[in-house]
Chains A and B, each alone.
Chain A
Amino acid sequence: MSTFYFIAFLSVLFSILVITAKNPVHSILYLILTFSTFTIHYILMNAQFLAIVNFIVYMGAILVLFLYTLMLMNLNKDSEPFKSNLVKVAAYVGGACFLITIISSLKAFNTSQLVILKDPNLGLVKNLGKILFNEYLLPFEVSSILLLSAMVGAVLLATKESKTT
Chain B
Amino acid sequence: MDTAQLLFKLILVVIIFAISLVIALYSTYAERKVAAFFQDRLGPNRAGPFGLLQPFADGIKMFLKEEIIPTNASAFLFVAGPSLAILTACIGSAVIPWGQKLTFGSTVIDLQVADINVGILYIFGVVSLGVYGIMIGGWASNNKYSLLGAIRAASQNISYEISMGLAIIALLLVTGTLSLRGIAEQQHGFWANGYFTWNVFKQPLGFLLFIICAFAETNRTPFDLPECETELVGGYHTEYSSMKLGFYLFSEYINMFVSSAVMATLYFGGYNFPFMDMISSPNWVTIIGVFLFFIKIALFIFFFMWVRWTIPRFRYDQLMDLGWKTLIPLAIANIVITGIVITFLNR
Contact = CB atoms under 8 A, between A and B. Distances in A.
Interface in B86-137: 116-118, 121-122, 124-125, 127-129, 131-132, 135-136
A155 B25 CA distance: 41
Interface in B25-67: none
Nearest to B76: A26
Given A61-B161, A155-B328, A71 B135 contact: yes
A64 interface: yes
Give the interface size class of chain A.
20 to 34
B125 A56 contact: yes
B129 A60 contact: yes
Q: Is the contact region of chain B dominated by helix, strand, or loop, or is it mixed?
A: helix
A48 B328 contact: no
Contacts of B116: 48
A102 B67 CA distance: 51
Interface in A58-108: 59-61, 64-65, 67-68, 71-72
A32 B131 CA distance: 13
Given A32-B132, A124-B117, A159-B325, A68 B125 contact: no
Interface in B290-347: 324-325, 328, 332
A14 to B, nearest CB: 15
B178 interface: yes
A29 interface: yes
B117 A71 contact: no
Nearest to A71: B139
B243 interface: no
Contact of A48 (B118, B124, B155): B118
| B121, B136, B147, B328: residue with the most chain A Cβ atoms closer than 10 Å | B121
A155 B329 CA distance: 11
Given A71-B147, A159-B325, A64 B132 contact: yes
Contacts of B162: 151
A98 to B, nearest CB: 33
B154 to A, nearest CB: 5
B158 A52 contact: no
Give the interface size class of chain B.
20 to 34
Nearest to A154: B324
B151 interface: yes
A35 to B, nearest CB: 11
Contact of A60 (B77, B118, B125, B155): B125
Contacts of B20: none
Interface string A29-65: 1001000000000000000110011011001110011
Given A64-B131, A67-B154, A68-B154, A55 B139 contact: no
B157 interface: yes
A161 to B, nearest CB: 13
A125 interface: yes
**A-B residue pairs, 7 tightest by C-beta:** A60-B128, A55-B125, A52-B121, A56-B125, A68-B154, A52-B118, A155-B324
28 contacts: A29-B77, A32-B132, A48-B118, A49-B121, A52-B118, A52-B122, A55-B125, A56-B121, A56-B125, A59-B128, A60-B127, A61-B161, A64-B131, A65-B154, A67-B139, A68-B154, A68-B158, A71-B135, A71-B139, A71-B147, A71-B154, A72-B151, A124-B117, A125-B118, A125-B178, A148-B332, A155-B324, A158-B324
